[in-house]
Amino acid sequence: MPRIEALEMIDISKSFHTTRANKGVNLRISSGEILGLLGENGAGKTTLMNILYGLIPPDSGEIRINGQPVRIESPRDAIGLGIGMVHQHFMLIENHTVAENISLGLSDAPFLSPSRHVARRLTEFGERFGLKINPQERIWQLSAGEQQRVEIVKALVKGADLLILDEPTSVLTPQETEELFAILRRMSAEGHSLIFISHKLEEILSICNRVLVLRKGEVAGKAETKDVDKRALARMMVGREIIFRIERPALEQGEMVLEVRDLVVPGDRQQVAVRGVGFQVFRNEIFGIAGVSGNGQRELIEAVTGLRRVSEGAVLLGGQNITNASARVVASRGISHVPEERIRFGIVPNLFVYENAVLKQHRQRLFSRVLFLNFGSIRKHAAAIIERFNVSVPTIDTPVKNLSGGNIQKLILGREISGEPALLVAAHPTYGLDVGATEYIRRQLLEKREQGLAVLLVSEDLEEIFELCDRIAVMYEGRFMGIVSTAQTSMENIGLMMAGSQPGSSSQPVNGGED
């Protein structure tokens, strides 16, 4: 198989029914180049990369490698041509070892003891690119950064010359991100081509040589990264100026809204996911919980919102004990919830926009008349949310699954805030959103803070945590490493705590007050 010296996508177009996903897109990447791919949600980035990786066919256009037209009708074809992809959500079997995961689907692995064959190749790639991983470790034992290395090695072992990376830093600590960038730079130096998809403009500017920007399925701009800044890239993406640093005025802390006492919460596999966590959230503040995914944040939020039972400790809202109350009772007491997985838990995809706008409030007298729903009132309420929260939707009779991720999130946030809750629990509210939708969601959270709402925010985005939060708790292996004031710490210190270290000391995790 010849090495990929240059790859071109020429006049690529793709439509789904009446929706145009790509229109006449041209992309070129050369050996040793790192190309950034930017665009709003729904701009066509994923469709374009799915075409390149053989997951969907284009309606028109062609792909050329080293000047020769090629047909890519499946991922097998793409891999055979030297194209690999590391998906945003890792495609690994957790109970298998690293070597077993890599040997799966490897055509030249021997029938007997394939793991031993793979282990030798792992050592080779580890030395070349700094991808050191123990072949005998099971996937569930690895950190997010280590799992990502497994995905990269898996693609390299299959012969990838060009590697597509979809939001590769979304679950990494700052330190793991730097390690990943060092690996990518070494790969680039060895002649590998990389397409780097990210919503984080700083990362694009840091790691990429060039950037291609899509908007509404078409190329909105392209540039050498040394010639542009964040503002220029954002303007290409959304067609307007973006304010990156939103002012967070100092506010006097209000009365306590939520108190969590020595909470112990079991996980899904009978292990303890949350280990004796305690904290308080007050009116006029955003209390942030930072940490790498899988350290107990999800279980903690589910316990607070009534979705998971606790084995020890207490949850108090306004002084009233709501420990192990149902999600319906918790919501009726004044806790609103923007869930981590908006599609699975925030909406019913096949229902219309106006129906999703009252999913948790449909029992209220305003929206129901004994046995029947008051559709006139429901539609009026949905229209008000759409107008107030700038949700872009053809009509309120549109199935909500047809909306972009950003507009779905705006609808969910509008629904949860419209009930005037005492506490808003927001889990990863801007995850996967483009820069324009992210700016809007963050503004709304700060606005509600100024209006007296208490907000409990969970995020892996340290920039978001520092921009929005008054206090930050860092969670590691089910415990709080500490609770600190945003004004009295740094992003580096929070990153160290996310990895299980106390800055400047070897002290153990704590569950107390501010440092």
CATH number of the domain to which 131 belongs: 3.40.50.300
- Supply 272's token pair: 């303890």
CB 41 within 8 A of CB 404: yes
Beta strand pairing status for 34-39 and 210-215?
parallel
User: Is residue 505 predicted with pLDDT exceeding 60?
Assistant: no
Single residue among 399, 420, 441 that ends a domain in this structure? 420
For 343, what's the count of Cα atoms within 13 Å in the CB-facing half-sphere? 9
Does 49 have pLDDT greater than 50? yes
Under a CB-based contact definition with an 8 Å cutoff, are residues 329 and 306 in contact?
yes
Q: What percent of the chain has pLDDT over 90?
A: 41
Residues 432 and 265: their CA atoms lie apart, in Å, by 28
For residue 244, is it within any domain? Answer: no
- Give, as one character, the DSSP assignment of residue 95: T
Q: How far apart are CA 505 and CA 515, in angstroms?
A: 13
- Let me know whether 94 and 218 are in one domain: yes
Question: Is residue 216 a contact partner of residue 47, using CB atoms and an 8 Å limit?
Answer: no
Residue 108 clears pLDDT 70, i.e. is over it: no
Question: pLDDT confidence of 170, banded at 50, 70, 90?
Answer: low
* From 68-77, 354-363, 486-495, 498-507, the region with the lowest mean pLDDT: 498-507
Residue 251 has pLDDT above 50, yes or no: yes
Residue 50 included in any domain: yes
The mean pLDDT value for 162-188 works out to: 83
**pLDDT score for 158:** 79
Predicted pLDDT of residue 107: 64
98 and 201 part of one domain: yes
State the pLDDT confidence band at 242, using cuts at 50, 70 and 90.
low
User: Residue 291: which residues within 8 A CB-CB, separation 6 or more?
Assistant: 297, 460, 474, 475, 476, 498
Strand ranges across the sheet with 320-321:
272-282, 256-266, 312-317, 320-321
Contact criterion met (CB below 8 Å) for 411 and 346: no
- Predicted confidence band of residue 222 (pLDDT cuts 50, 70, 90): very high
SS3 letters across 279-293? EEEECCCEEEEECCC
Q: Are 81 and 73 in contact (CB under 8 A)?
A: no
Do residue 63 and residue 176 come from a single domain? yes
Q: In three state form, how does the secondary structure of 391-427 look? A: CCCCCCCCEHHHCCHHHHHHHHHHHHHHCCCCEEEEE
Residue 246 lies in a domain: no
Same domain for 323 and 364, yes or no, is no
Mean pLDDT of 97-111: 72
**Do 426 and 408 fall within a single domain?**
no
Indicate the pLDDT class of residue 514, thresholds 50, 70 and 90: very low
pLDDT of 513:
46
How many C-beta neighbours within 10 Å does residue 140 have? Answer: 13
**Domain assignment of residue 250, yes or no:** no
The side-by-side arrangement of strands in the sheet containing 6-16 is 19-30, 6-16, 60-65, 68-70
**Which of the four pLDDT bands, split at 50, 70 and 90, describes residue 243?**
low
Q: Give yes or no for residue 389 having a pLDDT over 90.
A: no
Average pLDDT value for the chain? 85
DSSP of 356-382: HTTTTTTTSTTTEETTEE-HHHHHHHH
Same structural domain, 80 and 216:
yes
Give domain status of residue 440, yes or no.
Answer: yes
Which segment of 19-28, 107-116, 240-249, 425-434 scores lowest on mean pLDDT?
107-116
216 and 330 belong to one structural domain: no
Same domain, 268 and 327: yes
60-82: average pLDDT: 93
How many domains does one find in the chain? 3
List pLDDT tens digits, range 345-358: 888 988 999 999 88
| Residues 468, 509 within the same domain | yes
- Of the residues 420, 444, 460, the one at which a domain ends: 420
> 41 in a domain, yes or no?
yes
Of all residues in the chain, the percent with pLDDT exceeding 70 is 91
- 1: closest CA among 237, 162, 175? 162
Give the confidence band of 461 by pLDDT, cuts at 50, 70, 90. Answer: confident
117-126 pLDDT, tens digit each: 677 777 777 7
Kindly report the backbone phi and psi dihedral angles of residue 158, in degrees, each rounded to the nearest multiple of 5, phi listed first: -80, 0
Range of the domain at 42: 6-238
Pick the most confident of 275-284, 410-419, 462-471.
275-284
Which string of DSSP letters, residue by residue, matches 319-336? TEE-TT--HHHHHHHTEE
**What are the structure tokens assigned to 205, written together?**
């500017």
Question: Does the structure show a pLDDT above 90 at 210?
Answer: yes
Tell me the one-letter amino acid at 461: D
Give the per-residue pLDDT at 233. 87
User: 268 with 385, same domain?
Assistant: no
Same domain, 52 and 138: yes
314 in any annotated domain: yes
Q: For 335, phi and psi rounded to 5 degrees?
A: -105, 120
Q: Say if residue 314 is in the same domain as residue 376.
A: no
Q: Residue 243 domain-assigned?
A: no
191: left (phi over 0), alpha (psi -120 to 50) or beta: left
- Domain boundary (372, 401, 420) is at 420
Average pLDDT in the 193-218 region?
Answer: 89
For 275-332, the pLDDT digits (tens) are 999 999 999 999 999 988 789 999 999 999 999 999 999 999 999 999 999 999 999 8
Question: φ and ψ at 64, to 5 degrees?
Answer: -125, 140
